[in-house]
Structure 1
Amino acid sequence: MFDFSTPLLKPMLVLEDDPVQQLRIFKILQALGYEEKDIFYSQTIDFAVDICCKNPIKFMLVDLNLPDGSGIDFIMNICANGENTAPIMVLSAWNTLDVIYKALNVGATGYILKETDDFELMFAIRTMLKGGAIIDPHIAKKILSKFEKSLIDIPAKPEKIHVNLSQREMEILTCVSNGLSSREIGLELNISKHTVDAHIKNIYQKLEVNSRTKAIYAGKQSGLIS
């Protein structure tokens, strides 16, 4: 037998316009120990804001797709002045990462999909009542997948290059890193543009690159320039 006993945060708000979902949520909350008098229900953002203004709400379950706007706007409104300390769990059918990020960014402390079964939803609510933050496993998997892809897309840091440039080549590479053209480098070092270009070609060969940008990058990686 599972023990679902946990300190309950009362009163709480359920912002959900679907009566079927409201009933489902109530049964789960009832299993956790809530009574009808502990729960405020709202089907609109305006009424939910009014409830929060008149009552010391300690916990919120919020849908995102509501008749008078987005639950994200409600969360943003409630958290705007920084005085709200009540944990906010989003219970939504939306599973796109941009919506999830927005909800979490404006103040939600948990995000669960409506497709989650009752046992998992009960566990998620219990976790938040105990001070935790929770993300639906399917969402977490998508976030991890995107994170792993971003790591793959990051080019591996090349090994440090060990090359020997002449003093003149070092001077020219430094000038190149400062954004000077071959003509400007020639004037700076009192040599011809043709000579500068010849030195740059030698620098490319030694650094195994084929452009000024790559030469600057390789020079910094090897410690030749800062």
Structure 2
Amino acid sequence: MSNTAADPNFALLPAPLLLVEDEPMMHIRLRSILGQLGYDEEALSFAADIAGARRLFAEHPFAMAFIDVGLPDGNGIDLIRDLHQHDRALQILVISAWSDEQIILDALQAGATGYLLKERDDIEITLSIRSILRGGAPIDPFVARHILAMIGPATAQADAAPANAPRPVLTPREIEILTMVNKGFTNREIAEILNLSRLTVECHVRNIYKKLAVRSRTEAVFEARAHGFLP
């Protein structure tokens, strides 16, 4: 673990991190961003391709991985899928120039925790990384709009047959907690803000998962947006 004096909200940062990226300028950007968040240079490992990433993972485990989907020796989605199957607790954030809807969905279904576009400025990427460090599931707004556009027709068909797919019913408290999940707060932080016990928050989160028929925070946010519970 690495200690940070730059940000008191992250006294302990998940480390080490692996960054799988073949663009030298993106290496420089990410080093700078992560350094400002409190990461020491020795906590970061870089791979320029899938083969290099696999070698590093074979040598030692990582707490988090940032992966581009377009790599010189193959599709980063295959790497995401393999890493997720090997360690389901591993946080995987895609930072890519690719904005194709199917690639985005494939990456998230393969196990990516979030998906960002490289075109965002350093401040936006920093905020998204802060979110994932706090247990959130950051999704680039452009990506979210594309995914919702794809979900839209299916949702419309579901509305035409309410007997087969009724709209889930969430309580005001569940919507409140979902909103905070969307902002990247952990269960513990939500409990402190709402003056609830962590067990109570975890119970609400389990109920949300059950009602939305999902198994992760990322899926919960997607479904909540699709059903109009979140903007």
Which TM-score band (shorter chain)? 0.5 to 0.7
Q: Distance in 1 between matches of 2:161 and 2:49?
A: 52
SS of the aligned residue for 2:66 comes to strand
Q: Distance in 1 between matches of 2:54 and 2:95?
A: 18
Q: For the pair shown, which has the larger CA radius of gyration, 1 or 2?
A: 1
Structure 1 residue 17 displacement after superposition? 0.5
Quick one: structure 1 residues 150 and 84, their matched pair in 2 at CA, closer, same or farther if it must change by over 3 Å? closer
CA-atom RMSD in angstroms: 2.2
Q: Distance in 2 between matches of 1:142 and 1:63?
A: 19
SS of the aligned residue for 1:115 comes to coil
Question: Tell me, which stretches of 5 or more residues in structure 1 are unaligned?
Answer: 159-226
In structure 2, the residue matched to 1:217 is none
Question: Tell me, which stretches of 5 or more residues in structure 2 are unaligned?
Answer: 1-5, 163-231
Q: Distance in 1 between matches of 2:116 and 2:41?
A: 23
Q: Distance in 2 between matches of 1:4 and 1:41?
A: 26
Structure 1 residue 5 displacement after superposition? 3.4
Give runs of aligned pairs for residues 142-161 of structure 1, distance below 5 A. 142-153=146-157, 156-157=160-161
Greater than 3 Å deviation, 4+ residue runs: 2-5, 149-158
Match of 1:51 among 34, 51, 56: 56
Q: Distance in 2 between matches of 1:27 and 1:107?
A: 26
Q: Distance in 1 between matches of 2:38 and 2:76?
A: 26
Structure 1 residue 151 displacement after superposition? 3.3
Give runs of aligned pairs for residues 192-203 of structure 1, distance below 5 A. none
In structure 2, the residue matched to 1:113 is 117
Query: How many residues were matched structurally?
Result: 157
Give runs of aligned pairs for residues 123-138 of structure 1, distance below 5 A. 123-138=127-142
Identity within the alignment, %: 38
Structure 1 residue 143 displacement after superposition? 1.7
Structure 1 residue 44 displacement after superposition? 1.1
In structure 2, the residue matched to 1:205 is none
In structure 2, the residue matched to 1:97 is 101
Residue 20 (str. 1) matches residue 31 (str. 2): no
Quick one: structure 1 residues 47 and 143, their matched pair in 2 at CA, closer, same or farther if it must change by over 3 Å? same
* Kept in 2: contact 1:44–1:66 (CA 8 A): yes
In structure 2, the residue matched to 1:60 is 65
* Kept in 2: contact 1:62–1:71 (CA 8 A): yes
Structure 1 residue 24 displacement after superposition? 0.5
1:107-135 residue CA offsets vs partner (Å, 9 max, x unmatched) = 11110011111111001111111111111
Q: Distance in 1 between matches of 2:14 and 2:92?
A: 12
Q: Distance in 1 between matches of 2:140 and 2:37?
A: 19
**TM-score w.r.t. length of structure 1:** 0.64
Give runs of aligned pairs for residues 135-214 of structure 1, distance below 5 A. 135-153=139-157, 156-157=160-161
